[in-house]
């Protein structure tokens, strides 16, 4: 379709994902935005990028389901021709709860969405990027969370545990594919102004907690997008297996 560099961003219709899509588009990447349900939000991002002179498209897939991931990457092959960057950004949380209030359905939903999806998308990306498989190399950036370090007690222990698994995936995969032309890094956002906090039942959570941070403010999706782009770009060419905290000093 083009000789431009390409990026696939999972969960790219809102928040950090949408900001990341716009960041890569501004750097002249062809951007593929994955979404699960909110087509109107995904198309709004696509339309904004295209109206600004960039190139973007949206692909619907539930990336926690293996068959849908395989089909999405088949569509990536068709529409993009090649893949240079994968940003694993999709993630969910549920209502703030203590561990004693969690059931298996919730725990498994969190882990499947936040962990299994990353493994599946990394697998398909490696098959395309790895020099061992005839690829030209590439970069993967996994979006984790500061919760992986704090454990998020009394709120989202299940979400925090899922992000701890993402950190381990980042480190292990980075070592596994380093000699195959692929770098794998992660970002750990802290208190960022996105609507994910509303999903947990507290839309104003950032404002409640921001004074606990050394920088005394919440972060923006654009600040996280800048970090993601840095790790995907040649500016970080000697960095792999690293998790970069974007958390206001916490």
Tokens, residue 59:
């692909």
From the list 29, 159, 193, 229, the catalytic residue is: 159
User: Which of 209, 210, 93, 246 has its CA nearest to residue 155?
Assistant: 93
User: Which of 59, 58, 50, 1 has its CA nearest to residue 26?
Assistant: 50
Between CA 109 and CA 117, with CA 111 as vertex, the angle to 5 degrees is: 100
Annotated catalytic residue 229: no
Cβ atoms of 141 and 182 closer than 8 Å:
no
CA dihedral 243, 244, 248, 249 (to 10 degrees): 70
User: Which of 179, 183, 171, 188 has its CA nearest to residue 84?
Assistant: 183
DSSP code of residue 192: B
What is the DSSP annotation of 77-141? HHHHSS-SEEEE------S---GGG--HHHHHHHHIIIIIHHHHHHHHHHHHH-GGGT---EEEE
Angstrom distance (rounded) from CA 155 to CA 182? 35
Neighbours of 163 (CB within 10 A): 29
Q: Which residues are catalytic?
A: 159
């Amino acid at each position: 379709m083009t000789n431009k560099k390409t990026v696939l961003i999972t969960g790219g219709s809102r928040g950090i994902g949408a900001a990341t899509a716009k960041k890569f588009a501004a750097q002249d990447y062809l951007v593929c935005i994955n979404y699960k349900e909110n087509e109107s939000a995904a198309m709004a991002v696509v339309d904004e990028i295209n109206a600004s002179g960039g190139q973007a498209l949206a692909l619907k897939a539930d990336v926690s389901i293996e068959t849908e991931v395989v089909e999405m990457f088949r569509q990536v092959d068709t529409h993009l021709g090649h893949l240079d960057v994968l940003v694993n950004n999709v993630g969910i949380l549920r209502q703030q709860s203590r561990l004693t209030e969690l059931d298996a359905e919730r725990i498994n939903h969190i882990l499947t969405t936040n962990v299994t999806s990353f493994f599946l998308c990394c697998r398909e990306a490696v098959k395309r990027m790895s020099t061992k498989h005839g690829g030209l190399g590439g970069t993967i950036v996994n979006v984790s969370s500061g919760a992986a370090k704090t454990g998020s007690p009394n709120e989202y222990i299940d979400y925090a545990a899922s992000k701890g698994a993402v950190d381990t995936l980042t480190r292990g995969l980075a070592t596994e594919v380093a000699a195959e032309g692929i770098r794998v890094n992660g970002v750990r956002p802290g208190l960022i102004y996105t609507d994910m906090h509303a999903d947990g039942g507290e839309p104003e959570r950032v404002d409640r907690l921001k004074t606990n941070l050394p920088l005394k403010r919440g972060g923006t999706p654009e600040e996280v997008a800048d970090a993601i782009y840095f790790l995907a770009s040649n500016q970080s060419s000697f960095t792999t297996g690293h998790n970069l905290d974007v958390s206001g000093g916490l």
